[in-house]
Chain A
Amino acid sequence: MKGKRNILRFSLNWRIQHFLLMVSVFLLIISGIALRFSDSWFGKFLIFLEGGFEARGALHRLSAFLLIFTALYHLIYIIFTKEGRKEFKSFLFEKDDFSNYFKTILYNFGKIEEKPKIKRYGFKEKLQYWVFFLFVFLMIITGIVMWWHNYFLVLIPKWLFDLVYGIHGWGGTLILIFIVFWHIYEIHLTPSNFPINLSFWDGYVSEEWLKEEHFLEYEEMKKGEE
């Protein structure tokens, strides 16, 4: 990131939530993918690292508990705090997001000269947020069915249970691919962030970066300063 990082973009509360999500999802992925690839050397190695098959399951459930806690924390945050409500509102899709998406493509092809002006959260961040929101919800629901399978085997038919098992596995694979690709490019490799955008950790970005990537947020901030 070019320039001195002196603008606080993410509050401590926000960063704590990202941190909890990062830790729980990382643990969930390594313990989940171990089961999914349990017949290959990769899965065997992961299961060995996690202390055996049953310890793998325990780790998965423990980190699931952390994820559920984080999800509830986030819900309370976006409902009951002023900051949370404001952040949540800026995540709602608007007409501009769609036009900005097409404008960005045209801009990249060199068809338009001016870079689309992006708010605090552009279509990229909004898509990432809502995909995650939906998948965390899906994974928690299907995960709970499997966690208390003895209870749910009474309530739901076998075919639905098979479906839940399949959705959880594929959902996990999809979310893994999505966040890995996303983070590797958007946070690390993209020239404007390379090697890493550290704002997830201390919340600071540089003025130059904010002006380039989120012009409307920059403008609003300047207005506030005046």
Chain B
Amino acid sequence: MKKLLTLIFIFNLYSQDIVTKNRRCFLCHGKEDYKIIEDGIERPLFVSPSEYYQSVHKDMLCTQCHYDVITIPHLRKPKKIHCLQCHYAGNVVGAPVKEMPEKYKESVHGRAKEKGKIAPDCIDCHTTHSIRHPGDSLSTINKKNIPNTCGKCHKLVKEEYIKSIHGKALLKGVLETAVCNDCHKEHDILPPEDPRSTLNPKNVIRTCEKCHADITIMKKYGIPVKQVEAFKESFHGIALEYGVVKAANCVSCHGYHDILPSTDPKSPIHPKNLAATCGKCHPGASQNVAKGKYHIIPEEKEAGIVYYVYNFFKWFTFLVIFGLIVHIILDLTGRGIRKFKK
């Protein structure tokens, strides 16, 4: 009997269009003040139909996810559902599957959740009934909105971030700027101690260089692009490359959430603050550290006196090689001539 009823119900569903079918659910759930009291806590049960029909799931029936609702009105509380019931590899409903859920399991959030701690699951960032495509400017995971999405929990970091040069640029609508996930990634956020993490001291340079070594982005905003290259050639850069993580990386001097340009007096790389910044590792560093240029490439004129000294040595070295070879040839020729004459 139950089976028959289900079949009739399903048949009924497929004979009507989505909006008409979902209208039955929205009859109750579409009311803004629709809620229940559960264990003394008020639980809103409102789902905005207009939001829903702009979401990526707009062509789906409510009951396709809430599969245990077979009669309307439903008598029992529907089971808790999860995105993974459709978004898994090999699903037949055609839900797009990427490697994200797998990555999420290994992330700091996934592992915290597994241990029963309060940590975000899919819906905390993607929302439930109003999931939009990331390209949609109203999406919670649209680049513009990401600091707000992460900031729901990471409030202090968000405060720091919006005052930084990256945050300020975002507010101005510069979409090439870095938001949370550009450095932290999103589904596979790993703790900095993890050698695979983008924030691991060994990997920081590669995280920053994604944008800061990109000439098209940097040129657009007048930001010097050679710093990354110069850093890699410096002693700090070489030491890091060989796994000496006590050597300074980008964030050691520039900070991270609160990065500011050197012209800002609050920046750790403002000339007045440099002594203190270098002093973190090189105790007693004086104002002398501000007398000179940083991230210089000795082969380029901007390096000043270093450029001229390098060039002098370069040519002098060639001259020495040339001179030595000439004298060796001269000596051998002389010996040859004398032997021949004999």
Q: A residues near B, CB below 8 A?
A: 35, 38-39, 47, 52-54, 105, 107-110, 149-151, 153-163, 165-167, 170-171, 173-174, 177-178, 181-182, 185, 190-191
Contacts and interface: CB of A to CB of B under 8 A. Distances in A.
Contacts of A52: 242
Contacts of B294: 158
A38 B313 contact: no
B306 A178 contact: no
Contacts of B28: none
Contact of B320 (A157, A167, A177): A177
Contact of B317 (A107, A154, A160, A177): A177
Nearest to B338: A110
Given A47-B242, A108-B331, A156-B288, 19 more contacts: A39-B241, A52-B242, A108-B335, A110-B338, A158-B288, A158-B289, A158-B294, A159-B304, A162-B296, A165-B235, A166-B306, A166-B310, A170-B309, A170-B313, A171-B313, A174-B316, A174-B317, A181-B328, A185-B324
Interface residues of B, number: 45
Nearest to A180: B324
Contact of B309 (A149, A166, A173): A166
Nearest to B232: A39
Interface of B: 235, 238-239, 241-244, 278, 282-286, 288-294, 296, 298, 303-306, 309-310, 313-314, 316-317, 320-321, 324-325, 328, 330-331, 333-335, 337-338, 341
Contacts of B235: 165
A144 B289 CA distance: 18
Contacts of A54: 244
Contact of B244 (A53, A156, A163): A53
Q: Which 8 residue pairs across A and B have the least CB separation, nearest first?
A: A108-B334, A158-B292, A159-B292, A157-B291, A53-B242, A170-B313, A181-B324, A154-B286
Contacts of B288: 153-158
Contacts of A191: 335
Contact of A166 (B278, B313, B328, B333): B313
Contact of A154 (B284, B298, B324): B284
B306 A150 contact: no
13 contacts: A38-B238, A38-B241, A108-B333, A153-B278, A154-B288, A158-B292, A166-B298, A170-B314, A171-B313, A178-B320, A181-B325, A182-B324, A185-B331
A153 B286 CA distance: 7
B324 to A, nearest CB: 4
Contact of A159 (B293, B324, B333, B341): B293
Contacts of B285: 150, 153-154
A104 B224 CA distance: 55
A117 B16 CA distance: 115
Given A158-B292, A161-B292, A177-B321, A170 B286 contact: no
